[in-house]
Copies of this chain bind each other. A is one copy, B any other.
């Protein structure tokens, strides 16, 4: 980690100074935590543009909803972009197997769903539907879902009809 702290010295030396708290582009991105996804790079974002919410799978969990609700209600974002990606780790296991492995190791079964999935585009649509169904997210008119291709660096939009 110390290497990263050294990198941070260089970043701070070139840092442009304080920006406003609310995202300038009124955008919230919900994406997978995958190490190959450089969201600023993929979208050409600059510091201050957009909220970035990330978790295993880019799943719209209760916590992702919490973040989107705070993003929209307190900090003015209006658009949501969902980003899944090819070769996702969430496609390599099944929830029940993973929970059983954890229980075998710790003797405690996790009370949460791991959120593995099989079909990438279906899971993007599932994520959009969860936002649409949520009673606390006020702005749902602009939600778009994408799959990032880890071989080409391209974002491909997922077709969706609500």
The interface of chain A, by Cβ under 8 A from chain B, is 1, 3-19, 21-24, 27-28, 33-38, 40-45, 47-56, 61-67, 69-71, 73-75, 79, 81, 87, 89-90, 92-93, 98, 101-102, 105-106, 108, 110, 112, 114-115, 135-136, 138, 142, 144, 150-155, 157
Contact = CB atoms under 8 A, between A and B. Distances in A.
When all copies of this chain in the complex are counted, the total is 2
Chain A contact residues: over half helix, strand or loop, or mixed? mixed
Given A81-B1, A102-B136, A153-B11, A35 B51 contact: yes
The 10 tightest CB contacts between A and B, nearest first, are A7-B44, A15-B153, A63-B63, A12-B153, A23-B35, A56-B67, A4-B43, A56-B70, A12-B154, A54-B54
A27, A35, A44 interface centre (most CB from chain B within 10 Å): A35
16 contacts: A21-B34, A24-B35, A33-B67, A35-B50, A37-B47, A52-B54, A55-B66, A56-B66, A56-B71, A62-B112, A63-B112, A69-B114, A73-B102, A74-B98, A75-B89, A108-B135
